[in-house]
Amino acid sequence: MFVVRAFNQRKVMWYSFCLLIICTVFYVFISLGAYHVDAIEKKLPAGPAKTNVNKVINKRIENEPPEAQEIKQSVEIPPCYAHFSNIFCPKTASTSGRVNMHVFEDCCGGSLDHLRNNLLYPLFPNVRTTVSRLAVSPQWSNYGLRIFGYLYPSETEEYIFAVASDDNSEFWLSLNESPENLQLLAHVGETGYEWTAPGEYWKFASQISKPILLVKNMKYFFEVLFKQNSGADHLEIAWSLNHDNGIFSVITSEFLSLYEDESSLQMGNIDHIPQTKASYDRLLDPIPLSPHPVRDKIREDPRDHIYKYNMLDESYLKDLFPECHYKPSYILNEQIERYQGVNLIQFSSVYPNDYTRQTNDHNDEMCFYNQDPSFQAEKGLAAYLIEVEDPDIQKTDTGEGPFWQRVYDVKPLNAASKQTAIVANSCRTAGNIVMSQSHAMSIVRVFLKALHSREETRGYSLLHVVNVVRREDEDLGSRYLVELELMGPQGQKVLVSRYVYAKAEDSSKQVFLCSPKAFNWNPSATVHVIVAVKDQARWIIQFIREMEKVYRATGDKNFNVIIVDYNSSDIDIEKRLKKAKLPSYKFKKMEGNFQRTGGLQAGIDLVEDENSILFLCDLHLYYPVNIINSIRKYCIEGKMVYAPVVMRLDCAASPRAPNGFWEIAGYGLMGIYKSDMDRIGGMNTREFKDKWGGEDWELLDRILGNGLEVERLHLKNFFHHFHSRRGMWVTNDSG
């Protein structure tokens, strides 16, 4: 018995020992596994608390490409997987392929504040339904939509989102599955008056999101708000991978699932309705706050402050491209008939979009969409909507009332890139023609390749495409100004700004760049800003203040202000100039009646350096602080003059809220080298001594007739103040 017991005891101890060993091995194994999962977890957004993880990953991808690759590889997760307490399945039978849509009827106005301030919003919609893709057009009036659910990316990649709608809309995305972590990524409009055509994602800067890194098959909560007042109605949310030539496509059912299956819930049951940063019950809010970000119109553009950049050492760029003969087919060398020049002017196009298009004008539609054949041939903007069958929905369209579940497909429509010369020349709200991204980037890539093929510039990488300007010559090719912000080997940021020429594409479609002979701009050329005045003291002071503003901002010493005064009785201009904070000025007093041509010519005669630039201008102007840089850049001695288009502000408008129209027929504001002005004979003081208007068009005729070309661009932040003609010297429509 003892023996047996002793044996059993030993056996039990032995078994216990084995069990302990096995447990220890298991423990170590599980711990290692957990550690590994934890390591991945640290790199992934996973749970409400980790809202900023995507941002961190984003940053790491920018800074440390190899590690980013590692992250991407580590997150190739199968379609349905356990992630701690959550089960992630991109699709389940009951919730996949559709998203929730709440409809708020009898709600007027076009802005989302009209929706948010509605007493029944967001908990008591009229209709709770679902849709199968993020493109709807119920064809109804006075309603708002709240669409929400989950989005499942199919790649671990950076995505960009875009929204188009009529009227206003917002797209909010969470950084994970929680409705608590929403951020506004893209929107149309602030006031309720903004709208776009279907698929037109490029009308407002706010329509396209910044790149967001999303993880394959992860679940992201999103919310879309849309408000329709009257007229046309549609809403599209599209996405694209963040590649150069990413094409936006509408987000379709395979990437979507419901937030909640409401089909069996009573309307009185509201507990499941998410309250978010975008939509919450405002009953208890003392003052409802609108979550709108910075307004589109006064949005900063790197071009606005281009003078702040350090230029890349010019010697690095010598012989970057082979030199080529430059003589565009549109250059004339013969006298033209009086006032014919204005009809020969072509606009250049720009990239990136500078939002010089006036997007809230009533004639918007006439200016753009009318030029598109599908618009003309069919039924206006509705022609861009392609209805898609939804197999899950019985179509109960009785012709009465809206059909909320109706869904669509749209093709991307970039109206500003489709803008033809006819539109640019006839439409006073059109703004600059915007080059397509794929075209601009094809030039930028060739430019960078040339930089990287040379010892001196091999270490420079692209930070931003600041500005590309294209002047097309259909027969021969295109001239480009390419301005890129680069980062040097020591982390220094520099700007490269060069004119290049690309011969018209042959069948190979390859782009070859050359350096147009003697076509370079001089960054240190002196610019003389010349104005002729009489009386109007407050506008003269305003002009001097504007010039002080430019000097204060830029510190540019190479510009000079010239005022020619026809004996003003309401101001001592010379005294005011003496105390002005300007790099330099000249003042000349004239006797007799005011004469614009004579006054300007007197100013021109004060300039001795014939390799400096004259800028002929007027009073009543508001100048962008980059004006001097822009005049230098677009004036090429012996080759090109610069005629920026100014915007005439409406009476109620101001530079911070700039409504108005572009003065596309006026050429009174002109930058030209002194040597060129002398060569073409200066201002026509003989014919335009007592005669008013037309002197700018006559000057243009002689500019073109003498083989110079004209750079014509809408200049952002360049405004002509509204003023009545009371107390003016004379009426003159051309300034």
Q: Would you tell me which residues interact with Ca ion (CB under 5 A)? A: 166-167, 231
**Shortest Cβ distance from residue 110 to Ca ion (Å)?**
6
Nearer to Ca ion by Cβ, of 167 and 354: the residue is 167
Closest approach of Ca ion to the CB of residue 560, in Å: 51
Task: Retrieve residue 580's tokens.
Answer: 């002005």
- Helix or strand or coil: residue 3? helix
Nearer to Ca ion, 193 or 661 (CB): 193
Copy the structure tokens of residue 594. Answer: 């005011």
Q: CA 178 to CA 182: how far, in whole Å? A: 8
Cis peptide before 45 (omega within 30 of 0): no
Distance between CA atoms of residues 708 and 328, nearest Å: 11
**Minimum distance from CB of 166 to Ca ion (Å)?**
4
Q: Residue 113 Cβ, how far from Ca ion at the closest point, in Å?
A: 16
Cα separation, 363 vs 355, in Å, equals: 17
Least distance CB 161 / Ca ion (angstroms): 22
Alpha-carbon torsion, ordered 254, 134, 175, 80, to 10 deg = -10
By beta-carbon proximity to Ca ion, the closer residue of 111 and 601 is 111
What's the min distance (Å) between Cβ of 299 and Ca ion?
A: 24
Rounded CA separation 615/527 (Å): 7
Does a cis peptide bond (omega within 30 degrees of 0) precede residue 516?
A: no
Handedness of CA 432, 436, 439, 440 (dihedral sign): positive
Q: Which is nearer to Ca ion, 166 or 170 (CB)?
A: 166
Closest to Ca ion by CB, 167 vs 473, is 167
Q: Which of 165, 141, 670, 181 is nearest to 173 (CA)?
A: 181
H/E/C letters for each residue in 306-348? HHHCCECCHHHHCCCCCEECCCCCCCCCCCCCCCCHHHCCCCC
| CB nearer Ca ion, residue 167 or residue 546 | 167
CB 232 to Ca ion: min, Å: 5
Phi, psi of 152 (to 5 degrees): -125, 105
Integer angstrom CA distances of residue 662 from 299, 644, 646: 19, 10, 6
Nearer to Ca ion, 167 or 200 (CB): 167
* Nearer to Ca ion (CB atom), residue 126 or residue 139: 139
Q: Is 192 left (phi over 0), alpha (psi -120 to 50) or beta?
A: left
For Ca ion, the closer of residues 65 and 231 by Cβ is 231
Q: How far, in Å, CA of 130 to CA of 136, rounded?
A: 11
- Cβ of residue 234: shortest distance to Ca ion, in angstroms? 8
- Closest to Ca ion by CB, 109 vs 352, is 109
We find the least distance from the C-beta atom of residue 291 to Ca ion, in angstroms, to be 22
The whole-angstrom distance between residue 228's C-alpha and the CA centroid of its chain comes to: 24
Minimum Å gap between C-beta 102 and Ca ion is 19
